[in-house]
Amino acid sequence: MIVGDFGTSYTKLYDDGQARVVPTLELPHGVLADAGCGHQAKGRARRIENELVALATGAKALVNRDDFVCVDVGSRDIKKVAFKNGQYSGCDWNYVCGALAGFTLELLSQHYRLQYDDIEPSAEGLPVKCGILGISSLFDLIAQGESLSRAVARFVRGLAMNVYQFAGKPQTLFLAGGMCQNILFVRSIPAEVVPLGRFVSVEGLKRLLEEKRSP
């Protein structure tokens, strides 16, 4: 079985028991998954599943709760699925106000050679509604004399608050996607955050494929 979450920046692959993350631009030519989802899945999977369905299926399999909210923060957009009394209760998808959060933070880390794990979170955030557009506010803050680490912490807090509000301000937020690895981002969300990792949608794809193969 080969399944893949083909994201804008990174692809999460499961290939006969092995899971790996590959930059999407570096995917070997000819990779063809049995099932796939994501912005770059076209032409790379025999069966393409809806991203929210894959996320919801994977989250339900991984979270041992009847009531919970899971948000996937990717390079390009953010997605939310919610469950109530053990049943799927709704979803949302934001690619405008939450646009490019993951991509922007990766871009900043490369530009400034940042280690986000070394930066203390800020209780004060910038009014950031879009990752790329919000960079100008960050640059303005630095130009006004704010230290780089403090300015970045406020920028990340702004992005984290967008995600928290998008999720409906839950007491506990289950987080999926590459941002699980950004400790500053995780600590900037004013809730208990449970990182599920980057393979939640992949887990969903595996289960969806198994269901369709069952007699």
CATH 3.30.420.40 residue ranges of the chain are 2-63+200-213, 68-197
> What CATH number belongs to 2-63+200-213?
3.30.420.40
Please provide the DSSP assignment of 149-191 as one string.
HHHHHHHHHHHHHHHHHHTT--SEEEEESGGGG-HHHHHHSSS
**Which residue is it, tokens 């979270």?**
63
The CATH number corresponding to 68-197 among 3.30.70.920, 3.50.50.60, 3.30.420.40, 2.40.50.100 equals: 3.30.420.40
User: What average pLDDT does range 38-54 have in this prediction?
Assistant: 94
Residue 42's pLDDT band (cuts 50, 70, 90): very high
Q: What is the pLDDT of residue 99?
A: 56
Q: Is residue 213 over pLDDT 90?
A: no
Q: What is the pLDDT of residue 136?
A: 84
Percentage of the chain with pLDDT > 70?
97
Cα–Cα dist 200/182, whole Å: 17
User: What average pLDDT does range 142-168 have in this prediction?
Assistant: 93
Contact 52, 88 (CB under 8 A): no
Q: What is the pLDDT of residue 134?
A: 78
User: What average pLDDT does range 18-44 have in this prediction?
Assistant: 92
User: What average pLDDT does range 143-169 have in this prediction?
Assistant: 93
pLDDT tens readout for residues 88-134: 999 998 876 555 677 888 888 888 898 999 999 999 998 887 777 77
